[in-house]
Amino acid sequence: MICCLGLIKDTRCREQDKLLKQLSIPMARSTPDGFTEKEIDYYSRQIVLRNFGLEGQRKLKNAKVCVVGAGGLGSSILTQLTSMGVGTIRVVDRDIVEISNLQRQHLYGVHVVGYPKVEAAEMRLKQLNPFIEIEPVPLSVTPGNVERIIQGTDVVVDGLDSMTPRYALNRACQKQGVPYVFGAVIMQMGNASTLIPGETACLECFQGNLDDAELPSCSVLGVHPSIISLLASIQVSETIKILLGEPPVLANQLLFADLKDLSVEKISLAKVESCPVCGSKPLKKPRPLHDSNFEEVCGRENRRVFVFSPDEHQNLDMKEVNQRIRSLGHNISVQGKMGTTFSKDVVKGSILVSGVTIIEGVSDKTEAKKLRDSLLKD
Ligand SMILES: [Zn+2]
């Protein structure tokens, strides 16, 4: 007989039965410690894990985690944290689902192309686990809003693809004492580290002063979905350790993984006392971060893309916005709860309820700004 783990009978299954009895998990009637029977059933395969138990599951239920970026890493991180039962998950992203995302961003399907990622993510994650809360935040992380974005959370998990918002997150996490699980991927490689304020190196102790304009991007060099899943899983494992009160493995360690030869290496890190962000004897002030409220991002097929990102959620009346979009002769292709995608000739755009506006196919920044102003009447 083969047990549920696919192992040959006896020890493991008997061990599991014993643990289930110890936990007194009632599969029929009562609801121990705030869990419903369905929740117990849902999480049963991790409750029986030795380092978990009902107590561990309760820690996850009471936790609030902020996942910044709902792209490749974010998709996998969010799926795992949701199905493991982290009680509240804040999802921060300002993008729209595009068809070129689907190769690696497995939260989304073709039916949600054109929707704000946080809206599509919320729909999917609630289907996956109705026992937790999702807090969608349709904003970019900027130096001006980062402290509010991470406020009240127990861990921040990095699903970003550029350094400036990572530095903003690093500084806000240091200031608020929130652990930051860093992760980054490109091509077939990735790295990760767990940054605990006051205890370990911060991001700017070992990867400060990188300029996004000089770094390669996934849209140019590409990225393999397998490295994303691998790194995201490592980030989730670290996050869960923190929530369970266990020491994270990547504290003061920087992990490098490469699919090419399946090598995984760790190098030791140390807090740098002269670090401008976390050091006790900083040699200089932290480098000012460019607050990119209106920027040009990587476009496709030589089409220029401009993004306006307000610091504050503007809570737009989307009914009014949609009327204005139509009155200016644009066709609406997607009308979501948190954003609308439209087009007219070669120009394409999206406006999110937060005020984030993405304009594609115009010739320059001035034209992008003019179109945004006409649509929102600033
Ligand atoms: Zn530092």
Bridge partners (DSSP) of residue 359 are: 306, 349
Active site residues: 218
Q: How many other C-beta atoms are found inside a 10 Å radius of the C-beta of residue 258?
A: 15
Q: Which two tokens stand for residue 237?
A: 């494992």
Is-contact 284 208, C-beta < 8 A?
no
Q: What is the pLDDT along the chain (378 residues), one digit of tens a residue?
A: 334 333 334 444 455 555 445 554 444 344 656 899 999 999 999 999 988 999 999 999 999 999 999 999 999 999 999 999 999 999 999 999 999 999 999 999 999 999 999 999 999 999 999 999 999 999 999 999 999 999 999 999 999 988 999 999 999 999 999 999 999 999 999 999 999 999 999 999 998 888 777 676 656 778 899 999 999 999 999 999 999 999 999 999 999 999 999 999 999 999 999 999 999 999 888 988 877 788 888 666 667 899 999 989 999 999 999 999 999 999 999 999 999 999 999 999 999 999 999 999 999 999 999 999 999 975
CATH topology for 294-376 is TATA-Binding Protein (3.30.310)
Residue 107 phi/psi, 5-degree rounding, is -75, -20
Instruction: Quote the CA–CA distance of 287 and 246 in Å, as a whole number.
Output: 33
Cβ within 8 Å of residue 262, ≥6 positions away: none
Q: How many other C-beta atoms are found inside a 10 Å radius of the C-beta of residue 82?
A: 23
Bridge partners (DSSP) of residue 136 are: 91
Rounded distance from Cα 296 to ligand 1 centre (Å): 30
Q: Which two tokens stand for residue 274?
A: 């002269």
Rounded distance from Cα 90 to ligand 1 centre (Å): 25
Q: Of 27, 58, 74, 236, give the one whose Cα is nearest residue 131.
A: 58
Rounded distance from Cα 202 to ligand 1 centre (Å): 4
CATH topology for 63-268 is Rossmann fold (3.40.50)
* 202 Cα distance to chain centroid: 19
Instruction: Quote the CA–CA distance of 186 and 268 in Å, as a whole number.
Output: 22
| pLDDT score for 212 | 75
Rounded distance from Cα 200 to ligand 1 centre (Å): 8
Q: Where are the domains of the chain?
A: 12-59, 63-268, 294-376
The domains spanning 63-268 and 294-376 adopt the same CATH topology: no
Amino acid, res. 287: R
147 DSSP assignment = H
* 247 Cα distance to chain centroid: 22
pTM of the model: 0.90
The alpha carbon torsion through 127, 129, 132, 137 (nearest 10 deg) reads -40
Rounded distance from Cα 274 to ligand 1 centre (Å): 8
Rounded distance from Cα 230 to ligand 1 centre (Å): 26
Rg of the chain's alpha carbons, rounded to an integer?
Answer: 22
Angle of helix 11-23 relative to helix 53-61, nearest 10 degrees, comes to: 60
Cβ within 8 Å of residue 308, ≥6 positions away: 293, 294, 355, 356, 357, 358, 359, 368, 369, 372
Amino acid, res. 61: K
Provide, for the chain, the percentages of residues in helix, strand and coil under a 3-state DSSP scheme, each rounded to the nearest 5. 35, 20, 40
Task: Strands of 318-356 (E only): list them.
Answer: 331-335, 339-344, 347-352
Bridge partners (DSSP) of residue 339 are: 352
Q: Of 41, 124, 145, give the one whose Cα is nearest residue 79.
A: 124
In terms of Cβ atoms closer than 10 Å to its own Cβ (0-12, 13-18, 19+), residue 38 is exposed
Alpha helices in the chain (DSSP H): 11-23, 37-42, 44-47, 53-61, 72-84, 117-128, 146-150, 163-176, 203-206, 218-221, 225-244, 318-327, 365-376
Rounded distance from Cα 372 to ligand 1 centre (Å): 39
| pLDDT score for 288 | 87
The residue written with tokens 């309820």 in the block is 353
Rounded distance from Cα 53 to ligand 1 centre (Å): 35
